[in-house]
Structure 1
């Protein structure tokens, strides 16, 4: 069985859609679909992220066809702990973490995602990022923020609105030359942005609580 089929079987066994897995590993559904069907290879970093998300082992390369994969695969990145902080200090922490002390964090949570030296967790407030689909970020769930991340349409960001000084968590969309912050909950309106906000960082991991 080739590696694409193994990934597909593992994804289905975990009950993940293509969209959900693509979101977790930072790729798009088209790339993931082509990889599963053997129409496209995967680079080393992406394959490691996929296998880490699916709990697949890289210890037995003879058990899989890696002809379309770059050699010298490395094991999944070991978990690293990042601080869970308040929304009030999120922007300041991202810019000057050295001004804070370990006691300023509510707690420390681990992730295998690389949020950089200044990464941090936040607790989701409200229901604007909750939806019936996947991903959904219900109130109380935790999101891991990587400061100074590239701005990519379709990804999720923590943003500071300059007029109100408030921080918000939304999906960033570019369409026909315009830029928007979109909530996943259709009850809330999409906001067009035009320099009236500052991007704090991109959300790269999430944890559910209270399960």
Structure 2
């Protein structure tokens, strides 16, 4: 079976499994409108496609990229196996860097109108959490750990803050948040970019750590 669009493949997978939209949504851990939007081509985010493939019994690579058959014969030998899927998924808002900077002074979590876009994760946050889309190349390293522009990062506002972790912070001279690695040197804390061409900033009493980056998700469009 050859489907030309992601929307058609999602619908074909659901019908192959003999499921209505609501039961499939429950199995995947999303609301029914998410499945409906996918089938109408209104939502092309791919974060939950592996779980849809797992729930319907179709090939994950066929569903996401239209590669290979819709259903792989389990008797055929393969060096690719389905990864175990998380039992739960959690929805977090995607917000702007200005909103993230304001988060440090926010009176209440998730103020009204904070976002009209959400992404799912299997990570169960310790406190209010949100996604940010990385801007610029200050965290793009020539070697080792590197977070490129366009990557979605999940920020947990109540995860433990410690040197060596990637954090989102609010500097006193900026309205926007900044994304850096928290490091310690000589008993002092610094915000270090992974790109060595950018300067290291010191952490003082006026710097607010908004949260710890607990997950990075690269989007391919």
Q: TM-score range by the shorter chain?
A: 0.5 to 0.7
Please tell me whether residue 197 in structure 1 is matched to residue 210 in structure 2. no
Give a deviation string over 1:113-132, Cα, whole Å, max 9, x none.
12234110001011000013
Please tell me whether residue 82 in structure 1 is matched to residue 96 in structure 2. no
Q: Distance in 2 between matches of 1:177 and 1:98?
A: 34
Secondary structure, counterpart of 1:153 in structure 2 = coil
- Cα drift, residue 106 of structure 1: 4.0
Secondary structure, counterpart of 1:88 in structure 2 = helix
Please tell me whether residue 182 in structure 1 is matched to residue 192 in structure 2. yes
Q: Distance in 2 between matches of 1:120 and 1:156?
A: 15
Residue segments in structure 1 that go unaligned for 5+ positions in a row: 1-54, 58-74
Kept after mapping to 2: 8 A contact 1:115/1:144: no
Please tell me whether residue 150 in structure 1 is matched to residue 160 in structure 2. yes
Kept after mapping to 2: 8 A contact 1:154/1:172: yes
Give a deviation string over 1:121-153, Cα, whole Å, max 9, x none.
001011000013343111111100000322111
Kept after mapping to 2: 8 A contact 1:93/1:118: no
Q: Distance in 2 between matches of 1:138 and 1:167?
A: 17
Secondary structure, counterpart of 1:89 in structure 2 = helix
Calculate the aligned-residue CA RMSD, in Å.
Answer: 2.4
Q: Distance in 2 between matches of 1:116 and 1:77?
A: 18
Please tell me whether residue 99 in structure 1 is matched to residue 143 in structure 2. no
Q: Distance in 2 between matches of 1:106 and 1:131?
A: 32
Where does residue 9 of structure 1 map in the other structure?
A: none
Structure number with higher helix proportion: 1
Q: Distance in 1 between matches of 2:144 and 2:155?
A: 19
Give a deviation string over 1:10-29, Cα, whole Å, max 9, x none.
xxxxxxxxxxxxxxxxxxxx
Give a deviation string over 1:13-59, Cα, whole Å, max 9, x none.
xxxxxxxxxxxxxxxxxxxxxxxxxxxxxxxxxxxxxxxxxx765xx
How high is the TM-score relative to the length of structure 2? 0.56
Secondary structure, counterpart of 1:154 in structure 2 = coil
Q: Distance in 2 between matches of 1:139 and 1:156?
A: 15
Residue segments in structure 2 that go unaligned for 5+ positions in a row: 1-81
Where does residue 39 of structure 2 map in the other structure?
A: none
Residues matched between the structures, number = 139
Where does residue 139 of structure 2 map in the other structure?
A: 129
Label 1:76 to 1:84 Cα distance change in 2 as closer, same or farther (>3 A).
same
